[in-house]
């Protein structure tokens, strides 16, 4: 008896194998950039994951949910891959989840494919990611899903010419291509484009270039964080505002902190996104209220809703499989799943395992003294156009 216990403890210490527990568990390994430049995206996602667990309990289909958090420290595919491998061989997790950044998601995808583990991408938005592992599902969005739709929308809504400005890296290139494709295919004209360095503290030179062309509209993509406010201020300084030139952008451009920093200069900016905490629905009001209470008044953002829906997907899939955690079973359960998310109705496309959702067009307006993103148009049931083309 004693020797068995000692042996088991030794085995646990040496091989990281835990002896049989009283209640069966499902382990979820979260791989995110908890520290470093992207720490805030991870924090917002984690807040929503914690909220989901608080609201829904930590037991599904008779199994206890256990979460193990791992930090990649930023863009580090080598680290992300190692963490995924360690989570699987050492901690014996059943599900890999999180993934804010594309390179990290791509690296971990190999591990998911090789070990046949279910993987839920809760943010990383490059289109091809889900093709890298058949056990992967995404609950955020893809860049072309938003920008290509937006390009088409812009042309249909009376914008004839556009100048595009994007950050010079993968997601920026995707956004540029997506928007230009949608816009040109609908008959619009791209009168110029510029790419700025990823680390760029001062945008005035690039804004001046755009102003020289004097386009009817400008499309902007910058990563969230410092840059939205910086470019917004540069636009205002150069005298570009919604009255003279339409400013279009991805939703990062008018996030909460960016609007606050820009002030009234942000009024009239039109952006495309799949979620805003201001979205008017019962599900969202409840979500935002609970999120505010749990996080000292801070509002959820797209990372939060991606994490929240990701957890919901995991819970529902586990219910469907009756607690079975094999990758095949979970991914089969996830395919075609539909639910009412805080962002509106969403579904998992059974072919691409990517999210199908409503894309919102919003404009910054002053409502009751507050600057808010007001949704004024929507395109429903948008699939990722990139993979639709790939399939053709």
Partner 1 sequence: MISSFVGVLFDGFAYGMLLFLLSVGLSVTLGMMNFVNLAHCSFAMLGGYVTVTLMDRLGWPFLATLPVAFLAAAGASAALERVLFRPLYRASDLDQCLLTIGVVFVSVAGAAYLYGTVQQPVQLPGYLRRAVTLGSFRFPVYRLFLIGAALAVTVVLVAALECTRFGARVRAAVDNQRMARGLGIDVDGVFAVTFALGSGLAGLGGALAIEMVGLDPSFAFAYLIYVIIVVSVGGLASIGGSFAAAALLGISDMAGKYYVPQLGAFLIYLVMVGLLMWRPAGLFGRR
Partner 2 sequence: MATVSLEAVGGAHGYLRAQTRWRRSEIAFWLATLLPFLLFPAYLQLASQIAITALFAVSLDLILGYAGIVSLGHAAFFGLGAYTAGLFSKFGWGEPLSGLILASALAGVVGYAASFVIAHFRHLALIMITLGMGLLLQEAANSASELTGGVDGLQGVRMRPLFELFPFDLWGRTAYTYSLAALFLTFLVARRLTHSPFGLSLRGIRENAVRMPALGAPSRTRVRQVYTIAAAMAGMAGALLAQTTLTVSLEVLSFQRSADVLVILILGGAGRLYGGVLGAIIYMVARDQFSGINPQYWYFWIGLLLIAVVLFLPNGILAGLDRAAARFRRRSP
Our finding on whether 39 is near partner 1 (CB under 8 A) is yes
If contact means CB under 5 to 8 A according to the sort of partner, which of partner 2, partner 1, none does residue 126 touch?
A: partner 2
Q: How far apart are CA 223 and CA 198, in angstroms?
A: 8
Nearest to 141 by CA among 344, 337, 316, 384: 384
Q: Does 75 bind partner 1 (CB under 8 A)?
A: no
Sequence length of the chain is 392
- The site for partner 2, by CB under 8 A, has a size of 41
Least distance (Å) from partner 2 to the CB of residue 255? Answer: 21
Looking at 196, 275, 291, 303, which residue binds partner 1 (CB under 8 A)? 196
Q: Which of 60, 190, 191, 198 binds partner 2 (CB under 8 A)?
A: 198
The SS3 of residue 373 is strand
If binding is defined by CB under 8 A, does position 55 make contact with partner 2? no
Burial tier of 238 (Cβ tally within 10 Å: 0-12, 13-18, 19+): middle
200 binds, among partner 2, partner 1, none (CB under 5 to 8 A by kind): partner 1
Q: How far apart are CA 246 and CA 300, in angstroms?
A: 27
Radius of gyration of the chain (CA): 22
Q: Which of 86, 257, 326, 377 binds partner 2 (CB under 8 A)?
A: 86
Q: For 177, what's the count of Cα atoms within 13 Å in the CB-facing half-sphere?
A: 14
The maximal CA–CA distance of the chain, rounded, in angstroms, is 83
The DSSP bridge partners found for residue 166 are 195, 221
| CA contacts within 13 A on the Cβ side of 67 | 18
**Identity of the residue, 38 or 287, whose beta carbon is nearer to partner 2 in the bound complex:** 38
Q: Which of partner 2, partner 1, none does 117 bind, CB closer than 5 to 8 A by kind?
A: none
Among 65-73, 152-160, 250-258, 276-284, the segment contacting partner 2 (CB under 8 A)? 65-73
Question: Should residue 81 be labelled a site residue for partner 2 when binding is judged by CB under 8 A?
Answer: yes
Torsion of CA 34, 35, 41, 42, to 10 degrees: 0
**Nearest-CA neighbor of 157 among 378, 389, 384?**
378
Candidate list 75, 226, 288, 347; residue touching partner 2; CB under 8 A: 75
Answer yes or no whether residue 76 interacts with partner 2 by CB under 8 A: yes
| Site membership for partner 1, residue 37 (CB under 8 A) | yes
Binding to partner 1 (CB under 8 A) within 230-249 occurs at: 230, 233, 236-239
Task: Compute the distance between CA of residue 334 and CA of residue 311 in angstroms, rounded to an integer.
Answer: 12
Query: With respect to partner 2, which residue has the nearer C-beta, 117 or 312?
Result: 117
| Residue 168 CB partners (closer than 8 Å, separation 6+) | 195, 196, 197, 198
| Residue 89 is a binding residue for partner 2 (CB under 8 A) | yes
Q: Minimum distance between the CB of residue 116 and partner 2, rounded to whole angstroms?
A: 11
Interaction partner, residue 61 (partner 2, partner 1, none; CB < 5-8 Å by kind):
none
Q: Which of 52, 96, 103, 385 binds partner 2 (CB under 8 A)?
A: 103
Q: Is the backbone of residue 344 left (phi > 0), alpha (psi -120 to 50) or beta?
A: left
**Binding span for partner 2 by CB under 8 A among 80-88, 209-217, 247-255, 323-331:** 80-88
CB burial readout 185-195, b (16+ within 10 A) else e: eeebebbeebb
Q: Which of 7, 9, 59, 114 binds partner 2 (CB under 8 A)?
A: 114
Q: CA-to-CA distance for 45 and 297, rounded, in angstroms?
A: 16
Instruction: Verify binding: residue 260, partner 1, rule CB under 8 A.
Output: yes
For the CB of residue 107, give the shortest distance to partner 2 in the complex, in Å: 5
> Under the criterion CB under 8 A, does residue 204 sit at the interface with partner 1?
yes
User: Cα–Cα distance between 120 and 317 in angstroms, integer?
Assistant: 11
CA dist 225 and 40 (Å) reads 8
Is residue 288 within the footprint of partner 1 (CB under 8 A)?
Answer: no
Query: What are the residues binding partner 2 (CB under 8 A)?
Result: 14-16, 32, 34-35, 39, 43, 69-71, 73-78, 81-82, 85-86, 88-90, 102-103, 106-107, 110-111, 114-115, 126, 128, 168-171, 173, 197-198
């Amino acid at each position: 008896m004693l020797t068995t216990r000692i042996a088991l403890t030794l085995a646990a210490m040496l091989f990281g194998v835990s002896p049989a527990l009283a209640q069966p568990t499902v382990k979820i390994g979260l791989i995110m950039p908890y520290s470093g430049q992207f720490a805030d995206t991870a924090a917002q996602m984690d807040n929503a994951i914690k909220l989901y667990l608080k609201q829904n309990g930590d037991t599904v289909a008779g199994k206890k949910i256990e979460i193990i958090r791992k930090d990649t420290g930023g863009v580090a595919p080598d680290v992300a891959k190692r963490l995924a491998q360690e989570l699987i061989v050492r901690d014996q997790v059943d599900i890999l989840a999180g993934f804010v950044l594309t390179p990290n998601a791509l690296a971990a995808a190999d591990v998911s494919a090789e070990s046949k583990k279910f993987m839920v991408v809760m943010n990383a938005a490059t289109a091809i990611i889900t093709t890298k592992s058949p056990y992967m599902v995404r609950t955020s969005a893809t860049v072309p899903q938003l920008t290509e739709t937006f390009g088409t929308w812009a042309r249909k809504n009376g914008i004839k010419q556009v100048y595009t400005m994007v950050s010079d890296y993968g997601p920026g290139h995707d956004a540029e291509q997506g928007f230009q494709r949608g816009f040109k295919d609908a008959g619009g004209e791209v009168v110029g484009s510029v790419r700025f360095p990823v680390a760029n503290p001062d945008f005035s030179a690039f804004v001046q270039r755009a102003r020289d062309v004097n386009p009817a509209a400008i499309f902007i993509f910058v990563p969230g964080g410092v840059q939205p406010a910086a470019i917004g201020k540069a636009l205002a300084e150069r005298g570009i505002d919604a009255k003279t030139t339409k400013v279009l952008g991805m939703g990062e451009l008018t996030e909460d902190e960016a609007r606050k920093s820009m002030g009234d200069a942000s009024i009239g900016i039109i952006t495309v996104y799949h979620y805003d905490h201001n979205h008017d629905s019962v599900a969202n009001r409840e979500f935002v209220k609970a999120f505010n209470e749990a996080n000292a008044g801070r509002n959820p953002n797209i990372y939060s809703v991606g994490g929240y829906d990701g957890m919901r997907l995991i819970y529902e899939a586990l219910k469907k499989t009756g607690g079975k955690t094999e990758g095949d079973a979970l991914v089969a359960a996830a395919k075609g799943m539909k639910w009412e998310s805080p962002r509106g109705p969403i579904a998992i496309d059974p072919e691409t395992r990517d999210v199908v959702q409503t894309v919102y067009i919003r404009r910054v307006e002053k409502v009751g003294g507050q600057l808010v993103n007001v949704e004024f148009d929507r395109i429903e049931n948008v699939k990722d156009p990139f993979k639709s083309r790939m399939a053709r």
